[in-house]
């Protein structure tokens, strides 16, 4: 399993919005500048996040985006499943129930099911708030004015 640029950039965008939530609506150009991501690329990601209720949008002067919920309500797993489609390490686990014709005789199925469980539990256990808190710890809450 490899996380695409779309998934990584969506996560970075949402973390940025979470960090700047006290500023109200944040312009896409500001996120792009801080994250060193093309504004055009972010424009492709926004509809996916917006249509899923992850974002609130405000058009016009002082328009932009903000999170529709608090950062502790967004898990990395939810964000990556939205942008990547599936986090399954093998194709046969992408459907539930498993439709593989070999599932009853597959000697390795339990290995992939175990890996899939670990991936989901790990990514569903990390919220945007956890990422912000971790970043603050790494930076020692060192604010410079």
145 in any annotated domain: no
Question: In this structure, is residue 73 part of a structural domain?
Answer: yes
> Does 144 have pLDDT greater than 70?
no
Q: Is residue 136 over pLDDT 60?
A: yes
Q: What is the mean pLDDT of residues 33-45?
A: 96
CA distances from 19 to 15, 25, 52, 119, 144 (A): 6, 12, 21, 25, 16
In a domain, 144, yes or no: no
The total number of structural domains in the chain stands at: 1
pLDDT category at 95 given cuts 50, 70, 90 is confident
Question: Residue 143 domain-assigned?
Answer: no
- CATH number, domain with residue 70: 1.10.10.10
Residue-range definition of the domain harbouring residue 11:
5-138
- Residue 116 belongs to a domain: yes
Under 8 Å between Cβ of 75 and 40: no
Does residue 53 lie in a domain region? Answer: yes
Q: By the 8 A CB rule, do 17 and 10 touch? A: no
- Residue 141, pLDDT above cutoff 70: no
């Amino acid at each position: 399993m490899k996380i695409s640029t779309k998934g990584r950039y969506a996560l970075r965008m949402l973390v940025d919005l979470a960090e700047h939530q006290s500023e109200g609506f944040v312009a896409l150009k500001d996120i792009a500048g801080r994250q060193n991501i093309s504004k055009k690329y972010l424009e492709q990601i926004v509809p996916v996040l917006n249509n899923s209720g992850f974002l609130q949008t405000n058009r016009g002067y002082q328009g932009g985006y903000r999170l529709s919920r608090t950062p502790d309500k967004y898990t990395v797993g939810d964000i990556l499943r939205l942008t990547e489609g599936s986090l399954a390490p093998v194709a046969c686990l992408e459907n539930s129930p498993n439709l593989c014709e070999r599932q009853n005789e597959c000697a390795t199925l339990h290995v992939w099911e175990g890996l899939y469980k670990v991936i989901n539990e790990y990514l569903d256990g990390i919220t945007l708030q956890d990422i912000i808190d971790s970043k603050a710890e790494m930076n020692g809450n060192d604010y410079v004015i």
